[in-house]
Copies of this chain bind each other. A is one copy, B any other.
């Protein structure tokens, strides 16, 4: 420490130093600044992070027109007036506006409005409570930031590419290129079966690409109830995409612009682009973890206040802690970590009990997710398999959504399904999964029920409005009662 300080005179002391200005870092800064702590935020790319420019926002901007069109086509009286395919240029232009053309002025203004100091450059831990920033741009140089109370690592994750020889020369798409492309490739191979793969397959198939999805396992969306992946795969296939399950990429090359994929079964597939949506890796490989005794490139284990095990000044918030790689869950953790930092800075006891103000309990029990495909798939809490693995005594009840009046009114030929997982000992919900058009906003009702541990008996008093799709709640409660 002494040596570092002596060679680097440009040292500034803060209460809190935040590494990474994505939504997670922004929220930690917001909460600590709101309590009057001094806060520095270090960002090497765009303020606003992956979500704003290369993930949630652009992907949903691509998908919303796909879903709106599908919804319109399912309503007679309107279907005959919806002509032709989507206007891809207009959709991409709208996507560009949602990413502010990949400029972060607006988010910088917001961050500065909180009173946090923004350092543009790469930040690395250079010892306990110390971050050294290699400043980007003309000014350049290095700045040492010290943190009286906490350093929060909010650097997120990046796409993980498979270890295939020559992959760099293929210039494969990751989630960044898939959400940012300025035209639809004629043929797109999507490798993977998770949310990114599924959403991007849905978007680009609708925007004019011929999409082939290569899935190593037997199904899409395999972290949800099995019917979710099945129904989304069926719709993707109906939309014209090809889905090949049980298939891995053995090799991939690019020749004269064309991507040539060879599968493990020996088949060859040609494409114009290939998207690898094969998981995420933590962005912790170059942030100086080794200087505080942690493993570079590792996910960072934390307690429920998001504090890294064994370091009372170090927090890891968002994707980097591997609790739930979702923007909204990262923001939730950021609010809690921010509050915990503030409380500890004041020397007050944290409320670390389950569901307390300083415990991210929902990460274990009530994580929601919406897959913005057509049909939408949404879930919260545990699937049946997860609940059983966790040792809960549960029962799952299923309902065909087409039996709900509101669903039939929403769309002709409505196809959808719901599953509720009930804890038989506590008579509460452990999880709910919904698949079908228009269910994306409906899942929050289940999130409230799971997070608040509302007894089944009380859920009977939460009356769904007639005729909304929310009446699926009645069918689920009836199915549970009568099982």
For A64, what are the chain B residues with a Cβ–Cβ distance below 8 Å?
A: 75, 409-410
Closest-by-CB residue of B relative to A438 is B441
Q: Contact: A448 with B451, CB < 8 Å? A: no
Q: How far, in whole Å, are A51 and B74 apart by their CA atoms in the complex?
A: 23
Alpha-carbon separation in the docked complex, A92 to B459 (Å)? 36
Asked, given contacts A64-B409, A72-B68, A441-B470, whether A366 binds B461 with beta carbons under 8 Å apart, the answer is yes
| Chain B residue nearest to A207 in the complex (CB) | B77
Minimum C-beta distance from A343 to chain B (A): 14
Q: Which chain B residues lie closer than 8 Å to A78 at the CB level?
A: 65, 68-69, 72, 82, 86-87
Q: Are A328 and B464 in contact (CB under 8 A)?
A: yes
**Contact call A469/B441, Cβ cutoff below 8 A:** yes
The answer to whether B77 touches A463 (Cβ under 8 A) is no
Interface assignment of A389: CB less than 8 Å from any CB of chain B: no
A405 at the interface (CB under 8 A from B): yes
Which residues of chain B are near A460, meaning CB under 8 Å? 335, 357
| Interface: A362 (CB within 8 A) | yes
Q: Across the interface, do A369 and B465 meet the contact criterion of CB distance under 8 Å?
A: yes
When distances are taken between beta carbons in the complex, the residues of chain B under 8 Å from A74 are 68
Q: Which of A54-62, A133-141, A289-297 lies on the face that meets chain B?
A: A54-62
Give 1 or 0 for each of A345-381: 1 = CB within 8 Å of chain B CB. Answer: 0000000000101000110001111100000001000
Chain A: how many interface residues by the 8 Å CB criterion? 88
A461 touches B355 (CB 8 A): yes
Give Cα A332–Cα B470 distance, bound, in whole angstroms.
14
- Nearest to A447 among chain B residues (CB) is B462
For A222, the chain B residues whose CB sits under 8 A away are: none
Measured between beta carbons, the chain B residues less than 8 angstroms from A451 are 458-459, 461-463
Known: A77-B87, A86-B77, A457-B357. A441 touches B468 (CB 8 A): yes
A332 partner residues in chain B, CB cutoff 8 A: 461, 463
How many Å lie between the Cα of A110 and that of B84 in the bound state?
A: 42
- Return chain B residues, CB-CB under 8 Å to A75: 64-65, 68-69, 94
In the complex, residue of chain B having the shortest beta-carbon distance to the beta carbon of A85: B81
> Is A81 touching B87 in the complex (CB atoms < 8 A)?
yes
Which of B405, B443, B462 is within 8 Å of A465, CB to CB? B443
A454 at the interface (CB under 8 A from B): yes
Q: B77, A94: Cβ atoms under 8 Å?
A: yes
Q: For A439, what are the chain B residues with a Cβ–Cβ distance below 8 Å?
A: 441
> Which of chain B's residues have a CB closer than 8 A to the CB of A85?
81
Indicate if the CB atoms of B447 and A449 lie closer than 8 Å.
no
Say yes or no: is A473 at the interface (Cβ < 8 Å to chain B).
Answer: yes
CB <8 Å contact, B326 and A466? yes
Min CB distance A148 to B, Å, is 25
List, in ascending order, chain B residues with CB within 8 A of A326's CB: 465-466
Contact of A81 among B83, B93, B442, B462 (CB under 8 A): B83
Nearest 6 A-B pairs (CB), nearest first? A77-B91, A328-B466, A77-B90, A444-B470, A444-B445, A65-B77
A contacts, CB < 8 Å to B: 23, 51, 56-57, 60-61, 64-65, 68-69, 71-72, 74-91, 93-94, 98, 326-329, 331-332, 335, 355, 357, 361-362, 366-370, 378, 405-406, 408-410, 412, 438-445, 447-452, 454, 457-471, 473-474
Identify 24 residue pairs between A and B in the complex whose beta-carbon atoms are under 8 Å apart, listed by A's number. Answer: A23-B466, A56-B466, A57-B405, A60-B409, A64-B410, A65-B75, A68-B71, A72-B78, A75-B94, A77-B90, A98-B408, A328-B464, A328-B465, A332-B463, A366-B462, A441-B441, A441-B470, A444-B464, A448-B459, A451-B459, A451-B461, A451-B463, A452-B452, A452-B462
